[in-house]
A = this chain, B = another copy of it.
Amino acid sequence: MDVPAIDEALEKLPSHEATYRRLRDMVLFGELAPGQAVTIQGLTEKLESGMTPVREAIRRLTAEGALEFQDNRRVCVPRLTAAQLEELAFAKLALEPHLTCLALRNATPQSIAHVAAIDAELDTAIAAGDVSGYLRHNYRFHFAIYDIADAPILTAIAQSLWLRFAPSLRVVCGRIGTDNLPDQHTEAVAAMRANDADALRQAIIEDMTQGIQQVRLALANGKI
């Protein structure tokens, strides 16, 4: 039950879906910076896709808040204002701790072990100072838990929140390295093993609060 290579898995999907996922990952894992413009033609070359699939991927990501129409019908990665960051902070704290706790209903030793394995990969990336790996495994950690929760609507909203948050977090990571980044994951895994909802909620709240605070500081200093 090994995971097939990424490109191999994408081959079997319709082009618009594969294009969407590749572009989404570019936003999530730091290939696109806040404020950066994207063009349809540029993406057709970079993603080796036709114009129609690229346009549809852009529409979807725009609807999810990962991209933004400008007045002049160009598209770019949104730059967060301080007010918008507070909106994100509220929504993340209002939804994601709850969503994480929903996973306890369905968690099994196997599924918890899977989450723990991702946490181990995350620790490796942190130790190596691998910013891109940190972002990728941090995302995988939280959404592996959301998969267990089996709550598609809340997970979709969380996805949108991460898409809006990721580019700014990427900038912060690049500045401060991986050492000072949030990692309450060990506590979270322990709470899952103990089936302790309160401790799990607290770990996730602290994890998110730390990340938000880092972005808040960078934003206040005009570094984003």
Binding site for B on A (CB under 8 A): 14, 16, 52, 55-56, 59-65, 73, 83-84, 87-88, 90-91, 94-95, 98, 150-154, 156-157, 160, 164
Contacts and interface: CB of A to CB of B under 8 A. Distances in A.
Closest 4 CB pairs of A and B: A63-B63, A87-B153, A60-B63, A94-B94
Chain A at the B interface: SS class: helix
Contacts of A152: 84, 87
A22 to B, nearest CB: 16
A104 to B, nearest CB: 15
A156 B94 CA distance: 16
A52 B52 CA distance: 8
Contacts of A61: 63
Q: Copies per complex? A: 2
Given A65-B153, A87-B151, A91-B95, 8 more contacts: A61-B63, A65-B156, A83-B151, A84-B153, A87-B152, A87-B153, A91-B157, A94-B95
Given A14-B73, A94-B95, A98-B94, A87 B56 contact: no
